[in-house]
Structure 1
Amino acid sequence: MSPAEGGPTPLTEEEERRARAVLSSDLGNVIAERGWVRFPAYSPEERRRLMAVAQRLSAHWGQQVFIEAEDQCAMRLYLAGYGSQYSAHPLVP
């Protein structure tokens, strides 16, 4: 749905940059602590944003941060050894 059809208005370039920075910090802290995080992603834009966060964390840490869709509403970001077998845990705020 486009903004003209009542859908969400896309973020400006600056808003997108800030959103990715905050997500990188918040999700990165959780991943550093326990090795994985699950986060809601309802739209293609939100999924692309989380993919960019995984790439950013990978570059920052010098180790791969993997990302996968758990279902239609959530993505999992994780380090090696913390993959799909841990998907029974609740969402992290």
Structure 2
Amino acid sequence: MIRDLYNVRWQPAEDGPTPLTDEEERRARAVLFSELGNTIADRGWVRFPAYSPEERRRLIDVAHRLTSHWGQQVFVEAEDQCSLRLFLAGYETRPAQPSLPQPQP
């Protein structure tokens, strides 16, 4: 006996990300615009995780929206495979990392 299957959709793996609805995507970008924009306005840069291509595209879009909103370029730089850094001109160099004390001979 052969069964006909209607309205069957492919489901992502259990551990994989699920796509956001249009409304969820709009709200996520609005929150990132506000929160990341406030941090960049306060200190000139922000680092934020971006594990998937969708998250990277979302952060790049937020940087473009902030650029349009402020009239000042917000740059995007990959720090590693899992995070992006958004920053204003003049904050191109990474903030100084605290160094460990050196042992005395």
Count of residue pairs the alignment pairs up: 88
The structure with more helix, counted as a fraction of residues: 1
Rounded Cα–Cα distance in structure 2 between residues aligned with 1:10 and 1:76: 23
* 2:19 match: 10
Higher relative contact order (CA 8 A, sep 6+): 1
Max Rg structure: 2
3-state secondary structure, aligned to 2:12: helix
* 2:61 match: 52
Give matches, 1:1-80, under 5 Å. 3-6=11-14, 7-80=16-89
The TM-score normalised by the length of structure 2 is 0.77
Tell me which amino acid in the other structure corresponds to 1:19: A
Give how far 1:51 is off: 0.2
Structure 1 segments of 4 or more deviating over 6 A? none
Give how far 1:83 is off: 1.4
Rounded Cα–Cα distance in structure 2 between residues aligned with 1:36 and 1:47: 16
Rounded Cα–Cα distance in structure 1 between residues aligned with 2:47 and 2:63: 12
Give how far 1:58 is off: 0.3
Tell me which amino acid in the other structure corresponds to 1:5: A
The TM-score normalised by the length of structure 1 is 0.87
Tell me which amino acid in the other structure corresponds to 2:13: E
Give how far 1:9 is off: 1.2
Matched, 1:85 2:99: no
Q: Which runs of 5+ in 2 are unaligned?
A: 1-9, 99-105
Question: Percent of counterpart pairs with the same letter?
Answer: 70
